[in-house]
Structure 1
Amino acid sequence: MRVVVIDYNGGNLASAAQAARRAAALRGIKADILISREEADILSADRLILPGQGAFANCAHGLDTGNLRPLLEKATAEGTPFLGICVGMQLMARYGLEHGRTEGLGWIDGHIAPMDESAKAGLQLPHMGWNTLSFTPGAHPLTEGLQPGEHGYFVHSYALKEAHEDEVIATADYGMTIPAIVAKGNRCGTQFHVEKSQEVGLTILGNFLLWQAR
């Protein structure tokens, strides 16, 4: 299996790649995992991972300057499974409002907006640390082997709003309902950092590597 972690001058690339290698080893999956922005690597990949760290606008700019949007669109339209992590998940939305309005990939409904409800509830932003995941067991292959109430590690001040309920696989609560895992077709994402979420994150990564999206 060939897994490409997309290099778009964003953060957490090495951590995401290392976590994917560990997840593959735990599942006994023979995987070649590399960090790349090259067209040939992206279009020949069996799995694509887009980590994210920083502001939505900056990460979207990284996709544009690398001409990566059309490559990701082509690869995923042809069926390659895609996993976005944190801002990588947020980029799947229609647009984001961090540092002005910036267009996303438009793969899922909704937009990325400030977590005003959390602030009004007196909660500190960014939402940083462990939080409980709520989901229906068996609803999606990404959560196989997990139980509701397990935790993911979050770091964000913006969240997906006006999401389509059929595209939200898991949620977390932080003075508002936060879409924590989203999926549509062969494209999925986690708002929390799977590479920092210990056994839960490794389970999700392993499920992603084995996922046969329809």
Structure 2
Amino acid sequence: MTVGIIDYGVGNIGSLINMFYRLEIEASVITGPAEVRNHEHVLLPGVGAFDIAMSQLQRTGFDDAVRSHADAGRHLLGICLGMQLLLDSSEEGQLPGFGLIPGTSRKFAATSHIRVPHMSWSQVRPERNHPLVDDLPENHRFYFVHSYRVVCDSASTVLATTEYGERYPSMISSGSVVGAQFHPEKSHRFGMRMLKAWAAL
């Protein structure tokens, strides 16, 4: 069974394919919603604006396919904007998200101490045990670039947090659904470690 990466016109597909190739994990690009059911592990990438991404998913029919995949208890990983799409909503737009993890995303408040977007290498602090964050090396770091941060309705869905002006959820999970705010495909060996662990779930 290969990892499937959804291509709905909003995401860094090439870098993800290259990362799985380096991991010797078979990965394929999903170009139509019917293909989602062929994969146990599906990755939802995303860059840009919330409403544009959600509109693309609706227009292409991927929205229903993603919900069905998650409802069936199959593994779903949303990264960067893809993580925020897992939520109920975002301050950035008017459209509802998938509602798979209760919460919303809100814009960072720019101050004299922080700049928006958050664009840097940062660490994540595990908030509970999970294969994706267990035994993280002490010197780990992931690459972040985002202007909105997640606010979860329940602390039970917060998997890991990161400090940037405030401590916010940088990884979330509920059942087989996981979100990562950073870009694992740009995070070198630490991103490779996380993607390998996810593909092994």
Give the structure-2-normalised TM-score: 0.93
SS at match of 1:180: strand
Structure 2 letter corresponding to 1:69: D
Cα distance in structure 1, aligned partners of 2:136 and 2:78: 19
Q: Gaps (5+ residues) in structure 2?
A: none
For the 8 Å contact 1:8–1:62, the answer to whether it is kept is yes
Matched, 1:130 2:124: no
SS at match of 1:120: coil
Question: Could you tell me which of 175, 189, 194 is aligned with 1:185?
Answer: 175
Give the structure-1-normalised TM-score: 0.88
For the 8 Å contact 1:114–1:157, the answer to whether it is kept is yes
Q: Gaps (5+ residues) in structure 1?
A: 26-30
Count, aligned residues: 201
Matched, 1:32 2:32: no
Partner of 1:167: 157
For the 8 Å contact 2:17–2:28, the answer to whether it is kept is yes
SS at match of 2:42: strand
1:21-69 CA-partner distances (Å, limit 9, x unpaired): 323x2xxxxx431111323321111210011111111111111111111
Question: Could you tell me which of 45, 48, 51 is aligned with 2:42?
Answer: 48
Give runs of ≥4 in structure 1 deviating > 4 Å. Answer: none
Matched, 1:120 2:114: no
Cα distance in structure 2, aligned partners of 1:16 and 1:65: 23
* C-alpha distance 148-107 of structure 1, shift in aligned 2 (>3 A): farther
Cα distance in structure 1, aligned partners of 2:60 and 2:115: 35
For the 8 Å contact 1:123–1:175, the answer to whether it is kept is yes
Partner of 2:91: 97
Structure-to-structure mapping, 1:189-204, within 5 angstroms: 189-204=179-194
Cα distance in structure 2, aligned partners of 1:175 and 1:163: 20
For the 8 Å contact 2:70–2:176, the answer to whether it is kept is yes
Higher helix share: 1
Superposition deviation, residue 96 in structure 1: 1.1
Deviates most, 50-59 or 144-153: 144-153
Matched, 1:12 2:23: no
Provide the identity percentage.
31
